[in-house]
Structure 1
Amino acid sequence: MDEAHYLPVSKVNTAVFCPRRFYLEYVLGEVHRNHHVIEGHHLHTRAYTERGERSGVWVWSDRLGLVGVVDRIEYAGGEPVLVEYKKGRAFPQANDSDAVQLAAQALCLEESRGERARRGAVYYHASRTRREVALTPELLGRAEAAVAHMRQLLRSPRPPGVAVPPSKCAGCSTREACQPELLRREGGGG
């Protein structure tokens, strides 16, 4: 795959969470730094400088055209466990988009470094809670489907409608460019 067409593995999370946000950020370049973005960047910087296991590990998949960084790789029983750091609060289980991002990272890790991860975890900084994620064949398949959807969005002449509940739009860094309330009033809310 041509290097110009490699997508950031972190954007798998964005595309699963809100395809419109992915389109606005990645295709149209509408990147706005709000406090959520700045705090998340700071959290990842801290994660990469912690001692111990491997932190800030570059991975890629030529087959999928993905490249990015695994926040942390721990080892349990000789097997890699991928750890993703997120700014927010934990729910009873990892957020769906976070789990799919971990699966995409696992696919990249296996292809680029020959290490197969069967488990991962998401550490939610605001609640200081870790949620385990089983990297099942189904979840890995969902990651591949998310990448295919991202590529469809790249070919689209316009962004998709709003597909997330209004509560999810409140702190979004692309809210001004997205204008979700206006779209919902006009019937373009997904």
Structure 2
Amino acid sequence: MQKLSKEYNEEDYLMLSGIQHFYFCKRQWCLIHIENIWADNQATKEGEYLHEKVDNPLLNETRKDVFYSRGIPVVSKTLGFSGILDMVEFHKSSTGIPVKGREGLWEPIIIEYKRGKEKKDQRDIVQLVAEVICLEEGLGCEIKYSYLFYDKIKKRQKVEITLKLRDLVYELSESMHQFFEKHETSQAENYKSCSRCSLYDLCLPRMTKKKVNVKNYIKNRIEEEE
């Protein structure tokens, strides 16, 4: 298992779940986590509702050789992240780890809940891998795979926690800290998916994208409204 030699202090920890935003759109992450700008839309409200149901730490369950623990706080000194895990399944296993208050050894597997469906990119995967690294540091173990659960299609996606994915997460976390330390907001891009972002009217990607001619932008918006 790879680890970077650098370790972050607690006061420098960033929000773990932010890595998903950063992977998808650096500017979106900067607006939220550096400029403290936020706006809700239907998608963000649905996501909040889903996690309110899932993250309740009092809803722990036990079924035969599996028990479920929800709303687990985690941190990683090597990533400089802190956050809350939706749910961890602990499976009884001879190769597992001891768990306080439980007999035997247990293998932890993270289940991260998402409101929609599987993505074409890796935005959800990098968040899950970051969660794995955090839990590994806390429990002193290695987790070989975990799951994303998509509520819209009621389906689990198994994710193998490869060295390549771990390296990607470390690279992203380092870049996130660099932006945060410099208090620097990334330049806007303008994609088809931008209009579905809750921050679209605050980000104004067509206005703020590098080298955009403001006169042409205003002219195009007038033509669109007509």
Distance (whole Å) between structure 2 residues aligned to residue 54 and residue 164 of structure 1: 40
After TM superposition, list the pairs within 5 Å mapping 1:24-39 onto structure 2.
24-39=31-46
Contact 2:189–2:209 (Cα < 8 Å) also in 1: no
Alpha-carbon deviation of 1:171? 2.3
Question: What residue number does 1:54 align with?
Answer: 69
Distance change >3 Å, CA 29–CA 187, structure 1 → 2 = same
Q: TM-score, normalised by structure 2?
A: 0.74
Distance (whole Å) between structure 1 residues aligned to residue 170 and residue 128 of structure 2: 12
Structure 2: tracts of 5 or more residues without a match: 1-7, 62-67, 94-105, 214-226
After TM superposition, list the pairs within 5 Å mapping 1:122-141 onto structure 2.
122-141=148-167
Are 1:69 and 2:115 matched, yes or no? no
Distance (whole Å) between structure 2 residues aligned to residue 109 and residue 164 of structure 1: 36
Question: What residue number does 2:132 align with?
Answer: 106
Alpha-carbon deviation of 1:172? 1.3
1:177 aligned residue (194, 199, 202): 202
Structure number, greater radius of gyration: 2
Distance change >3 Å, CA 64–CA 157, structure 1 → 2 = closer
Question: What residue number does 1:86 align with?
Answer: 114
Distance (whole Å) between structure 1 residues aligned to residue 13 and residue 117 of structure 2: 30
Cα RMSD for the two superposed structures: 2.2
Are 1:13 and 2:43 matched, yes or no? no
Q: TM-score, normalised by structure 1?
A: 0.87
Distance (whole Å) between structure 2 residues aligned to residue 152 and residue 55 of structure 1: 32
* Letter aligned with residue 198 of structure 2: S
Aligned length: 185
Are 1:145 and 2:171 matched, yes or no? yes
Percent of pairs identical after alignment?
27
